[in-house]
Chain A
Amino acid sequence: GQQLNQSPQSMFIQEGEDVSMNCTSSSIFNTWLWYKQDPGEGPVLLIALYKAGELTSNGRLTAQFGITRKDSFLNISASIPSDVGIYFCAGLLTGTASKLTFGTGTRLQVTL
């Protein structure tokens, strides 16, 4: 099935640094979601974006819904060790089944 292009694939950063990751698609979506997955757990929703151009924050997290509706980015400011995990973007085109299309994931590792 289709997957969104997410980059970078992985990143090592030092505690306190800012992080940026993005997601692009060849198709438009009317909702973008960002999830974080810890090892052995299901993904947990971080931020949801519903309108092109929308910029939304959740604590140290900020995400934007691209104007073209084909991309989104997630920023994490002042990273801390518990930010470690895999971050997934997901696009949703609402309809009868509201099926999510997931990005390939960004593995974040934070060093002290």
Chain B
Amino acid sequence: SQTIHQWPATLVQPVGSPLSLECTVEGTSNPNLYWYRQAAGRGLQLLFYSVGIGQISSEVPQNLSASRPQDRQFILSSKKLLLSDSGFYLCAWSEIYGYTFGSGTRLTVV
């Protein structure tokens, strides 16, 4: 069966520090992969999506970047975090019956 792993679950980082969040999918090949961000009490905003290795599309201008070095690996990064980068980050992959989300990473930038 297909599973999606996302880590870490929580992260507290100082302003100006780098960021790397990792997401991996098992049990499928060539999935569409997505990074979403959810501000407190808000809906989900699509940040990046990828339809294949090395193919990244950005939905909104921001301080973050994404990479897909392997078919089932999706990484969200930043060189220097801002306070406004705080939020709940969700990785997802799409399949015929909808999206499946990871368990999320709560990032607090202090």
Interface residue ranges, A against B (CB under 8 Å): 1, 3, 31, 33, 35, 40-45, 48, 88, 90, 92, 96-100, 102-105
Contact = CB atoms under 8 A, between A and B. Distances in A.
B60 A97 contact: no
A31 to B, nearest CB: 7
Contacts of A88: 43-44
Contact of B106 (A40, A48, A92, A97): A40
Given A41-B104, A100-B94, 8 more contacts: A1-B60, A33-B99, A40-B104, A41-B103, A98-B32, A98-B94, A99-B34, A100-B44
Contact of A97 (B45, B49, B104): B49
B32 A3 contact: no
A58 to B, nearest CB: 12
B46 A100 contact: yes
Contacts of B97: 45, 48
B7 interface: no
B100 interface: yes
Interface residues on B, range: 20 to 34
Dominant secondary structure at the B interface: strand
Interface of B: 6, 32, 34, 42-46, 49, 51, 57, 59-60, 88, 90, 92, 94, 97-104, 106
A39 B102 CA distance: 14
B99 A100 contact: yes
Nearest to B99: A100
Contacts of B101: 35, 42-44
19 contacts: A33-B98, A35-B101, A41-B103, A42-B102, A42-B104, A43-B90, A45-B97, A48-B98, A88-B43, A90-B99, A97-B49, A99-B46, A99-B49, A99-B59, A100-B34, A100-B44, A100-B99, A102-B44, A104-B43
The 10 A-B pairs with the shortest beta carbon distances in the complex, nearest first, are A42-B101, A102-B44, A102-B43, A98-B94, A33-B98, A104-B43, A42-B104, A48-B98, A45-B98, A42-B103
